[in-house]
Amino acid sequence: MFEYNPEKHYSKETESRVVIRFQDCDPLQHLNNAKYFDYFFNAREDQVPKLYGLEMIDMIHKYKAAWVVYNHNISYVRPARVGEWVRIMSRLLWFNHNTVVLEYYMTDDSKKELKTVLWTTMRYVTIKEGKSTEHSGAVLDFLKATSENLDISNMTITDRVKSLKQKLLEI
């Protein structure tokens, strides 16, 4: 279970290096559009326990609540190709009392070329009734410690694509 330590620095971004598998590609040898979601979610699921010592299932059991997706916004910038090594980064971009926005993005292995950006918006709901509930306890501590808390109210995913491309040029 996550326990907030005010003395500790919590990384805001996770990163994984993965290879694009043949079985996940279309006849043009591009990663199938639907498979980007699998790559993104698997990368985050692998990294969160490593970085934060947190198994999400433990929080779900303790707080009897979980996040459910109600919106995806994805921008395919450049194709990921079969056999290509890529980097997948994810971060908690923003949260409020009952909602989170996670950002995932994929680059080439050298982090010079942006491939895809995904924003996933999720509502925190009770397991039993499926009703919206507020973040509290270790859940809220985790969100505060790991969030970019970026003001996205006037930002589009297109704006974010431009921003990430610029950031990659500066690396």
Confidence at residue 22, expressed as pLDDT on a 0 to 100 scale? 98
Would the pLDDT of 167 be above 90?
A: yes
Would the pLDDT of 1 be above 80?
A: no
Q: Find out whether 103 and 74 touch, Cβ atoms under 8 Å.
A: no
Model confidence at 153, pLDDT cuts 50, 70, 90, reads very high
Q: pLDDT digits over 97-129, tens only?
A: 999 999 999 999 999 999 999 999 999 999 999
The set of residues, in sequence order, having a beta carbon less than 8 Å from that of 158 and lying 6+ positions away, is 75
Confidence at residue 2, expressed as pLDDT on a 0 to 100 scale? 78
- Please name each of the domains of the chain with its CATH number: 13-170 (3.10.129.10)
How far apart are the two ends of the chain, measured CA to CA in Å?
35
Which residue pairs, CB below 8 angstroms and at least 24 apart, start in 50-53? 51/10, 51/11, 51/14, 52/2, 52/10, 52/142, 52/145, 52/146, 53/2
Q: Find out whether 133 and 125 touch, Cβ atoms under 8 Å.
A: yes
Q: Give the residue-averaged pLDDT of 3-30.
A: 94
Confidence at residue 104, expressed as pLDDT on a 0 to 100 scale? 98
Would the pLDDT of 3 be above 90?
A: no
Model confidence at 5, pLDDT cuts 50, 70, 90, reads confident
